[in-house]
């Protein structure tokens, strides 16, 4: 709570180290951002993303292309920033992350194949509890960079699920079985499915299964970060 109040009173300080931000900086200073474990290219990120999901979750999540900007490490500057984004109501930070991810995606031609952006949804009760869906705000930022529509209504979370924290890959899969339902309006489209952090891929896999059942022609995925194996 103290950190949240600090940022409300002094909005021009870094969320992580609390130093004053320069005019060109937003939420996080360049020094803290330099500590993030960034992928060197979209292609390198996609290769690691595919391998990680395959090794942790199995081969049930199939996607055309995948984008991920950072490797997520526990007790890192990135974890502090994402925690503030998710639990302290800094939804503009999520949009900023999304815009940056979208700009990075444009360094490859594959992003242009996407037709519509769909965030991984929260259950309505959890969204009320948090006041916003971070994946939706990230998707809006990506949409601003790619000039593509964000259609949150195309995928719904019909079942309230327990927290995934601390669960094995198998338990995460069981926890999310049948949790999502796609609208028929998703049929025939190349969908970009967006989440904040990919841990095992269980959430993306469950959402992707619903998207495919809805008749989507193609599926790609994007997230701010991929949890490193530690």
Alpha-carbon distance 201 to 52, whole Å? 8
User: What's residue 3's pLDDT?
Assistant: 47
Does 12 reside within a domain?
no
**What pTM, to 2 d.p., does this model score?**
0.86
Q: 184: Cβ–Cβ under 8 A, 6 or more apart, which residues?
A: 214, 215
Alpha helices (runs of H) in 147-218, residue ranges in sequence order? 169-176, 202-213
Of 68, 67, 82, nearest to 33 by C-alpha is 82
Which residue carries 């639990």 as its tokens?
87
Number of structural domains the chain divides into: 1
Cα separation, 202 vs 214, whole angstroms:
19
Asked whether residue 11 is domain-assigned, the answer is no
Residue 138: domain span: 35-227
pLDDT confidence bin for 36, thresholds 50/70/90: very high
Give the tens place of pLDDT for each residue, 208-230. 999 999 999 999 999 999 998 76
Crossing angle of helices 91-105 and 77-87, in 10° steps, is 120
**Has residue 103 been placed in a domain?**
yes
Predicted pLDDT at 111? 64
Given this model, what pLDDT does residue 148 score? 96
Distances (CA, A) of 43 to 70, 150, 157, 170: 13, 24, 30, 28
CA angle 56, 82, 76 (to 5 degrees): 75
The CATH number of whichever domain residue 137 belongs to comes to: 3.40.50.2020
What average pLDDT does this structure show over 70-76? 94
Q: Inform me whether the pLDDT recorded for 191 exceeds 80.
A: yes
- Binning pLDDT at 50, 70 and 90, where does residue 177 land? low
Q: How confident is the model at residue 203 (pLDDT cuts 50, 70, 90)?
A: confident
Pairing of strands 116-119, 218-227: unpaired
Q: Does residue 169 lie within any of the structural domains?
A: yes
Give 161 or 164, the one with higher predicted confidence: 161
- Is 134 inside any structural domain? yes
Flag the least confident range among 2-11, 87-96, 180-189.
Answer: 2-11
Q: Is residue 158 part of a domain?
A: yes
Q: What is the pLDDT of residue 1?
A: 46
89 Ramachandran zone, left/alpha/beta (phi>0; psi -120 to 50) = left
Distance separating alpha carbons of residues 221 and 67, to the nearest angstrom: 6
Whether 17 maps to a domain, the answer reads no
pLDDT, greater one: 142 or 3:
142
Residue in the structure block whose two tokens are 């005019």 = 23
Q: What is the mean pLDDT of residues 161-174?
A: 57
Please state which of the ranges 31-35, 65-69, 123-127, 167-171 shows the lowest mean pLDDT: 167-171
- 110 pLDDT exceeds 60? yes
Does residue 191 contact residue 220 with C-beta atoms inside 8 Å? yes
């Amino acid at each position: 709570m103290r950190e949240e109040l600090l940022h409300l009173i002094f909005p021009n300080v870094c969320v992580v180290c609390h130093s004053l931000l320069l005019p060109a900086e937003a939420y996080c200073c360049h020094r803290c951002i330099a500590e993030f474990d960034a992928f060197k290219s979209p292609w390198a990120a996609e290769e690691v993303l595919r391998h990680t999901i395959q090794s942790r979750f199995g081969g049930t999540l199939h996607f055309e292309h995948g984008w991920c900007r950072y490797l997520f490490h526990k007790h890192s500057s990135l974890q502090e920033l994402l925690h503030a984004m998710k639990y302290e109501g800094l939804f503009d930070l999520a949009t900023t992350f999304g815009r940056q991810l979208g700009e990075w995606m444009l360094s490859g031609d594959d992003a242009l194949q996407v037709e519509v952006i769909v965030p991984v949804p929260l259950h309505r009760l959890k969204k009320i509890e948090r006041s916003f869906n971070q994946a939706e705000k990230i998707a809006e930022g990506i949409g601003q960079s790619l000039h593509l529509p964000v259609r949150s209504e195309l995928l719904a979370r019909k079942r309230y699920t327990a927290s995934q924290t601390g669960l094995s890959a198998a338990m995460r899969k069981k926890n999310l079985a049948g949790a999502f339902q796609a609208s028929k309006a998703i049929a025939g489209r190349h969908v970009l499915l967006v989440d904040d952090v990919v841990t095992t891929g269980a959430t993306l896999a469950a959402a992707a299964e619903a998207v495919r059942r809805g008749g989507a022609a193609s599926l790609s995925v994007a997230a701010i970060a991929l949890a490193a194996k530690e």
